[in-house]
Amino acid sequence: MAAIKGVYTIRTEGALNVCTYIGGIISFLSVVRYIGPAFSLFFIAMFLLALYFEYRKRYVISRTALNITLVLFVVLNSLRLSLADFATPLVEMLLILLSVKLIEEKKARDYLQIYTLAVFLLTGSALLSLDMLFLLILIIQAFLLPVSIVLLTFHSQQAGMRITNRDLKSIVSRALLIALVSIPVTALIFIILPRTGFPMLNILSRAGVSAGFSDSIKLGEISGIQENSAAILRVEMKRIDPRMLYWRGVVLDYFDGTSWKSMNKEPRGQGNFAVSGPRVYQTIYLEPYENKYLFALDKPVNIYYRNTTISADVTVAARQNIERRIKYSALSVITETMMQEEIDRTRYLQLPDRDFSGVKALVTSLSAGKKSEALAQTFLHYLRDGGFAYSLKILPVTPNPVEDFLLKYKYGNCEYFASSMAVMLRLSRIPARIVGGYMGGYYIDFGNYYLVTQNNAHVWVEAYIEGKGWIRLDPTPGGAVTSAGPEQRDALLKIRLFIDSINYYWNAVIIGYDLERQMTMFIGLRDVMRSPFRAMPSLRDMVSGVGLMLTAILFLIAAFYLLSRRKPVEKKMVAEFVKKMKKRGHSRMPYEGLEEFADRIDDPVLRDKAVGFAAQFGAVYYRDRKFTKEERVLLEKLLDEM
């Protein structure tokens, strides 16, 4: 074969293996976040072993032995399956199967099995989480697998086959086309299917929960919640005074000496609840966590989410635990006080049967004739500025942590401050309760939303003052909680926030997509077209608008391409025939019949072939018949010979 400049040949098997191994490692990456480390290590080891075998061209482990081990493993592993956590063991099992497939000596069907496993793993990862990374991996696999399969077809036809880099390029570009063509279908599914949200199948998933917030607080047992920087809330709203950023969650009213719990909630009645202040409307994306309370800015007036109840102490609960990311909107009135006429005093004055004598003495010394609100303020000052240190260090677990904190150790986290405050208030016959939630958050201008992370978790106190109602008191010293962020100049944090904003768009536009919203956006876009400067849409609308338009354009291109390319087989064959002849220097006039044209060719060998093709082709085409498979193969063979 004459060497043409810039053209060289590649072993199909080599290219195939490269694609297959990349596909394997990508599959692994798609699930590595969810599986046990032992499985990860096993996979990596097997993968390296497979590479070594591939390099040495020796596959020392016999297929039978591998298969027996695999069957055993699958049986054993299936014992681990449970309805509560179905997906993870499944994914782990698939990964093991994949790694074993990789170390085997590979025949065509083994390659196909590898690809099937890769697809299964991708699907499995969708069961676990449907985030941006899934999209990325989906795109990579959607491109890589067709390439591999085409290469496999070559390879299975002829083992030691070589193809030129040009052919490889055309294979790759076609595979890209397949991936591209699938976009319209995906877009269609995207539009017609309702959002399944996160994750796809609740029952099969373990909900990807981040451990943290709970409806009981046990002092001295820091659950790691405050060192977890995972996002919990994203709240789309206007920027407000950072001092008012209290995200109300659950109210805890029962103290057993070491932990706070929530008593049975009564639904909020009509009329015994009044707030006044600026109203703030929020759209909230709540990440899954192990409880059922919905958060909103203190004090939520209404929460728009199905099947929620607001109880008398203004705790908003969904029917079951939040096991997937949900979106809801809320209306809050920003105020520190909340009027409520009747309260259950015994409930809010409850104290455990403990020896609080030290605390009592402290309370008495601080009271000095002060009553209700003034007294509460005194306690607040005492805790804030009275030599107490905020610390996340674990305090010694004692039977009476409040007293020990106040009189002995004098350091602790917000839970200690709030518990002590509540106990002091209750000892002074002021009804008090603890409110758990989050405080602060980073305002992200890029997306006009607050990012609230797990380490924003916070508890504070509400005290009932006659004639005023419940007032919010936060005894934890300032700066304890990460506050809203322009002062945060940390580059890493900035990157994190940026990534979070992308994630936010993904959730808001892709996962939280709804048709009505897109319609509104279109109308908005139309208005912008009419008067570009009057109605600037928000960046977010613009991003999703552009995204939608791109999808539409891609769809049109793909549709056009498909329609224009969908030539019948006959037309394609003739086109190829004519193209081949042209290469040999015989161009056919459009008015010429095929046989006539073939007759015109002067090279007798080529002419015979061309005449043969024309006759064979005409016999089917001009009889208005469809090509049988044999005829097609024959004609293609004739074409190849030319």
> Measured from the CB atom, is 387 or 590 closer to another protein?
590
Please tell me whether residue 592 binds another protein under the rule CB under 8 A: yes
Nearest alpha carbon to residue 274 among 349, 340, 348, 217: 340
Smallest gap from Cβ 617 to another protein, in A, equals 7
Rounded Cα distance between 564 and 566, Å, is: 6
Please tell me whether residue 379 binds another protein under the rule CB under 8 A: no
> Measured from the CB atom, is 336 or 595 closer to another protein?
595
Smallest gap from Cβ 589 to another protein, in A, equals 7
Q: Which of 456, 621, 627, 635 binds another protein (CB under 8 A)?
A: 621
> Measured from the CB atom, is 533 or 591 closer to another protein?
591
> Measured from the CB atom, is 244 or 569 closer to another protein?
569
Residue type at position 625: R
Rounded Cα distance between 375 and 363, Å, is: 9
Buried b (16+ CB within 10 A) or exposed e, 420-436: bbbbbbbbbebbbbbbb
- Residue in the structure block whose two tokens are 């509560």: 84
Q: Give Cβ neighbours of residue 425 (< 8 Å, ≥ 6 apart).
A: 376, 379, 431, 432, 461, 463
DSSP 412-446: E-HHHHHHHHHHHHHHTT--EEEEEEEE--EEETT
Using CB under 8 A, count the residues that bind another protein.
18
Rounded Cα distance between 123 and 429, Å, is: 59
Please tell me whether residue 631 binds another protein under the rule CB under 8 A: no
Structure tokens that stand for 495 in this block: 């990157």
Smallest gap from Cβ 576 to another protein, in A, equals 12
Which parts of 531-602 fold into alpha helices (H)?
A: 539-565, 569-583, 594-600
Element housing 460 (H / E)? strand 457-465
Structure tokens that stand for 564 in this block: 């224009």
Q: Which positions from 284 through 303 interact with another protein, judged by CB under 8 A?
A: none
Please tell me whether residue 587 binds another protein under the rule CB under 8 A: no
Output phi, psi for 276, to 5 deg: -140, 145
Smallest gap from Cβ 92 to another protein, in A, equals 57
Output phi, psi for 299, to 5 deg: -100, 120
Q: Give Cβ neighbours of residue 435 (< 8 Å, ≥ 6 apart).
A: 246, 248, 249, 250, 251, 252, 298, 459, 460, 461, 462, 472
Please tell me whether residue 622 binds another protein under the rule CB under 8 A: yes
Please tell me whether residue 594 binds another protein under the rule CB under 8 A: yes
Please tell me whether residue 638 binds another protein under the rule CB under 8 A: no
Rounded Cα distance between 152 and 13, Å, is: 8
Please tell me whether residue 256 binds another protein under the rule CB under 8 A: no
Smallest gap from Cβ 628 to another protein, in A, equals 16
> Measured from the CB atom, is 105 or 570 closer to another protein?
570
Smallest gap from Cβ 555 to another protein, in A, equals 32
Q: Which of 623, 629, 630, 640 binds another protein (CB under 8 A)?
A: 623
Structure tokens that stand for 490 in this block: 């940390």
Which range binds another protein by CB under 8 A, 244-252, 445-453, 463-471, 594-602? Answer: 594-602
Handedness of CA 236, 238, 242, 244 (dihedral sign): negative
> Measured from the CB atom, is 289 or 597 closer to another protein?
597
Smallest gap from Cβ 579 to another protein, in A, equals 14
> Measured from the CB atom, is 74 or 575 closer to another protein?
575
Instruction: Put the strands of the sheet holding 316-317 in their side by side order.
Output: 293-294, 316-317, 309-310
Smallest gap from Cβ 564 to another protein, in A, equals 18
> Measured from the CB atom, is 127 or 598 closer to another protein?
598
Smallest gap from Cβ 585 to another protein, in A, equals 21
Smallest gap from Cβ 594 to another protein, in A, equals 6
Smallest gap from Cβ 610 to another protein, in A, equals 14
Interface mask toward another protein for 557-586; x: CB under 8 A: -------------xx--x------------
> Measured from the CB atom, is 269 or 568 closer to another protein?
568
Smallest gap from Cβ 572 to another protein, in A, equals 11
Peptide bond into 300 cis (omega under 30): no
Rounded Cα distance between 426 and 631, Å, is: 94
- Eight-class DSSP state of 32: T
DSSP 291-327: S-EEPEESSEEEEESTT-EEBTT--EE-SS---S-EE
> Measured from the CB atom, is 371 or 572 closer to another protein?
572
Q: Which positions from 100 through 129 interact with another protein, judged by CB under 8 A?
A: none
> Measured from the CB atom, is 470 or 627 closer to another protein?
627
Backbone dihedral region for residue 479 (phi beyond 0: left; psi -120 to 50: alpha; all else: beta): left
> Measured from the CB atom, is 514 or 599 closer to another protein?
599
Please tell me whether residue 617 binds another protein under the rule CB under 8 A: yes
Please tell me whether residue 596 binds another protein under the rule CB under 8 A: yes
Smallest gap from Cβ 29 to another protein, in A, equals 51
Which range binds another protein by CB under 8 A, 93-101, 325-333, 615-623, 628-636? Answer: 615-623
Smallest gap from Cβ 89 to another protein, in A, equals 59
Please tell me whether residue 635 binds another protein under the rule CB under 8 A: no
Three-class DSSP category at 217: strand
Please tell me whether residue 595 binds another protein under the rule CB under 8 A: yes
The 10 Å Cβ neighbour count of residue 78 is: 11
Footprint of another protein (CB under 8 A) = 570-571, 574, 589-596, 617-619, 621-624
